[in-house]
């Protein structure tokens, strides 16, 4: 099973700043099959990124994904107040066994 470790646990930044979230895999994620989700309190997760770097429909271009192998990054280029949420990564490179990371909480000051 591929274990995904996300860091930092919490990120506290001001509006307009850049957020960089890390997702590290215990072994290489095949074909860079990695997705990112945003989850606001009391809401279901929302897909942001799939295939490590492809934005889902309707996702603003301030969200971008990058990385390969075992190291992946979600970048929010200019934080807005509504970006306050927990962000989780998920790998599907070892399909049919899927795993999620533990999440990074982004707080907007």
Partner 1 sequence: QLQLQESGPGLEKPSETLSLTCIVSGGSISSNSYYWGWIRQPPGKGLEWIGSIYYSGSIYYNPSLKSRVTISVDTSKNQFSLNLNSVTAADTAVYYCARETKYCSGGNCYLSWFDPWGQGTLVTVSS
Binding site for partner 1 (CB under 8 A): 1, 31, 33, 35, 37, 43-47, 50, 56, 88, 90, 92, 95-103
d(CA 55, CA 49): 5
Task: Compute the least distance from the CB of residue 96 to partner 1, in Å.
Answer: 4
Interacting residues of 60 by C-beta distance below 8 A, sequence separation 6+: none
Tokens of 69: 């192998």
Task: Compute the least distance from the CB of residue 69 to partner 1, in Å.
Answer: 18
Tell me whether residue 19 or residue 36 sits nearer to partner 1 (CB atom). 36
Tell me whether residue 63 or residue 92 sits nearer to partner 1 (CB atom). 92
Distance of CA 18 to the CA centre of its chain: 14
């Amino acid at each position: 099973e591929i274990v995904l470790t996300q860091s930092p646990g919490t990120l506290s930044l001001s509006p307009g700043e850049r957020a960089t979230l890390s997702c590290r895999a215990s072994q290489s994620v095949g074909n860079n099959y990695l997705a990112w989700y945003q989850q606001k309190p009391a809401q279901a997760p929302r897909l942001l990124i799939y295939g490590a770097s492809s934005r889902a429909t309707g996702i603003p271009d301030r969200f971008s994904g990058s990385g390969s192998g075992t190291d992946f990054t979600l970048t929010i280029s200019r934080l807005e107040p509504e970006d306050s949420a927990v962000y989780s990564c998920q790998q599907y490179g070892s399909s049919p066994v899927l795993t999620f990371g533990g999440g990074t909480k982004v707080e907007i000051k």
